[in-house]
């Protein structure tokens, strides 16, 4: 079926499938460079991002099967070179680049991965100087983690045979490059620690390219070195080669031969050091003995006759006894005088005299209080009589005794002061000086003005 010459109606899905076939057939392998943006790293392990330049942008995806082989971690803004194939994502109707390989533009992927890992582990404190341990001065057994067939183990053995042939050496053979080498190195370090088989470890290999040395740049090796309880010397490559293992180790040696020289001093160096320390000890001992002899002689000269010293001490005892008797006599006299003074003062302040004086004062105050009370009582009585006379004059009963009466309306108890307050038929109560009477109003005469 020719969809360009015939009027063929396609579904969106069918048209998208045709476009996908065309793109995948003609763009099976392409290389694209651009700047990363909109980077997404979901838990599925896939990578989603956009490559862009000033004129356009391209959606990209790298599935987990390819992403797990990346030695570095892409970030927004990073310039990348991507290799992959063009396809169409049906659900969105967008074309995209399915990436199979990524590398940083202008710098190798391994170098970028090295820099990223170094910065991250340094931020976690794996390279801190405070964590690094000193090497033992006289190790009994050296553990070597390297290839059994490489030049590194032969260089180490030759150096130690020449310098200190009695040191016991334990080789833990591992692969030092290729897939899985890093896991073997880390496992060897953990095993030697777990079994406590060595006093110091050399981890390393001979020189090579960055790819050859990459096993010693893996995070798993760095963490195994960091958690090792046995001091670790990293000896990877040549003097100019630095690996992540070098930064995490307690000591870095430029070559495996140099690492062997750092493990223990040579027998000749130890012999010379022992002779030097022996000579120094002899000089210090002789000097100390001479000083002690001089001090003993001086103490002997300063030592007096015990009899004379005892006589001086007896004389001092007699002197102190006389001073003590005199001090006791004087103390007793002073205290006797003070007692007599206090006794005389106490007699002057006898409570009996004080009580008699106070009793007289109390009697005088009692008589004065009684006199004042009687005067006050008489004044109250006089005031009471005068007030009673005034009340008698103002009392309503006095008015009633002169023939007057008080009239109250029975209905509401109101006192009647004006004839206008009454009406014919009202009942009133008349109060006299003696007794009262109830009356009925027959008529009312009002005062007209």
* 138 plus 256 within the same structural domain: yes
* 182 plus 51 within the same structural domain: no
Would you tell me the crossing angle of helices 219-227 and 109-124 to the nearest 10 degrees? 30
Does some domain include residue 349? no
What is the C-alpha to C-alpha distance for residues 205 and 371, in angstroms, rounded to an integer? Answer: 128
Does some domain include residue 34? yes
What is the C-alpha to C-alpha distance for residues 155 and 160, in angstroms, rounded to an integer? Answer: 9
Q: What angle do CA 179, 73, 47 make, to 5 degrees?
A: 100
Q: Structural domain tally of the chain? A: 3
* 60 plus 137 within the same structural domain: no
420 has pLDDT over 90:
no
Contact 36, 80 (CB under 8 A): yes
* 49 plus 134 within the same structural domain: no
* 134 plus 258 within the same structural domain: yes
223 has pLDDT over 90:
yes
Domain end call among 229, 264, 299: 264
Which residues pair with residue 431 across a beta bridge? 406, 436
Smallest CA-to-CA distance from 245 within 161, 316, 186 is with 186
* 185 plus 139 within the same structural domain: yes
* 408 plus 434 within the same structural domain: yes
Q: Which domain holds residue 431?
A: 396-449
**pTM value?**
0.44
* Residue recorded with tokens 């057994």: 141
* 86 plus 132 within the same structural domain: no
Does some domain include residue 363? no
Does some domain include residue 287? no
Domain end call among 106, 128, 144: 106
Does some domain include residue 385? no
Transcribe 92-116 into DSSP letters: TTEEEEEEEEEEETTS-HHHHHHHH
What is the C-alpha to C-alpha distance for residues 44 and 68, in angstroms, rounded to an integer? Answer: 11
Domain end call among 54, 79, 106: 106
Q: How high is the pLDDT of residue 224?
A: 93
Does some domain include residue 256? yes
Which CATH number goes with the domain that contains 222? 3.40.50.2300
* 157 plus 260 within the same structural domain: yes
- pLDDT tens by residue, 351-405: 776 777 788 888 888 888 888 888 888 888 888 888 877 777 676 767 777 777 8
* 96 plus 40 within the same structural domain: yes
266 has pLDDT over 60:
no
* 130 plus 60 within the same structural domain: no
What is the C-alpha to C-alpha distance for residues 93 and 220, in angstroms, rounded to an integer? Answer: 42
Does some domain include residue 320? no
Smallest CA-to-CA distance from 207 within 151, 253, 159 is with 151
217 has pLDDT over 90:
no
* 119 plus 97 within the same structural domain: no
Question: Residue 207 is encoded by which pair of tokens?
Answer: 């020189």
Does some domain include residue 31? yes
């Amino acid at each position: 079926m020719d969809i360009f010459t015939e009027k063929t109606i396609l579904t969106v899905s069918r048209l998208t499938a045709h476009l996908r076939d065309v793109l995948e057939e003609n763009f099976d392998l392409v290389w694209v460079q651009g700047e990363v943006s909109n980077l997404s790293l979901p838990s599925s392990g896939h990578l989603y991002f956009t490559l862009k330049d000033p004129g356009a942008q391209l959606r990209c995806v790298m599935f987990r099967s390819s992403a797990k082989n990346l030695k570095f971690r892409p970030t927004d803004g990073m310039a990348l070179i991507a290799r992959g194939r063009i396809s169409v994502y049906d659900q969105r109707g967008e074309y995209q680049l399915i990436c199979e390989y990524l590398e940083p533009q202008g710098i190798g992927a391994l170098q970028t991965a090295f820099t990223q890992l170094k910065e991250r582990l340094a931020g976690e404190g794996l390279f801190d100087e405070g964590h690094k341990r000193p090497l033992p001065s006289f190790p009994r057994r050296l553990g070597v983690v390297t290839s059994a067939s490489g030049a590194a183990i032969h260089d180490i053995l030759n150096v130690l045979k020449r310098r200190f042939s009695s040191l016991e050496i334990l080789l833990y053979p591992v692969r030092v490059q290729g897939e899985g080498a890093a896991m073997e190195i880390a496992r060897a370090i953990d095993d030697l620690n777990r079994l406590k088989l060595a006093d110091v470890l050399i981890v390393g290999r001979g020189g090579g390219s960055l790819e050859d040395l990459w096993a010693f740049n893996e995070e798993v090796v760095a963490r195994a070195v960091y958690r090792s309880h046995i001091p670790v010397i990293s000896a990877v490559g040549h003097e100019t080669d630095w690996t992540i293992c070098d930064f995490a180790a307690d000591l870095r040696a430029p070559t495996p031969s140099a690492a062997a020289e750092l493990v223990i001093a040579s027998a000749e160096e130890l012999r010379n050091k022992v002779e030097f320390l022996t000579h120094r000890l002899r000089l210090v001992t002789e000097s100390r003995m001479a000083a002690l002899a001089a001090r003993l002689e001086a103490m002997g000269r300063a030592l007096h006759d015990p009899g004379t010293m005892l006589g001086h001490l007896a004389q001092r005892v007699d002197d102190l006894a006389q001073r003590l008797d005199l001090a006791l006599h004087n103390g007793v006299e002073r205290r006797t005088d003070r007692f007599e003074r206090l006794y005389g003062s106490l007699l002057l302040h006898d409570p009996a005299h004080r009580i008699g004086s106070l009793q007289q004062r109390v009697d005088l105050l009692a008589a004065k209080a009684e006199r004042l009370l009687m005067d006050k009582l008489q004044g109250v009585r006089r005031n009471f009589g005068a007030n009673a006379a005034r009340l008698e004059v103002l009392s309503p009963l006095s008015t009633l005794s002169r023939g007057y009466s008080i009239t109250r309306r029975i209905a509401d108890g109101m006192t009647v002061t004006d004839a206008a307050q009454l009406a014919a038929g009202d009942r009133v109560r008349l109060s006299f000086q003696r007794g009262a009477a109830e009356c009925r109003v027959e008529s009312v005469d009002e005062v007209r003005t």
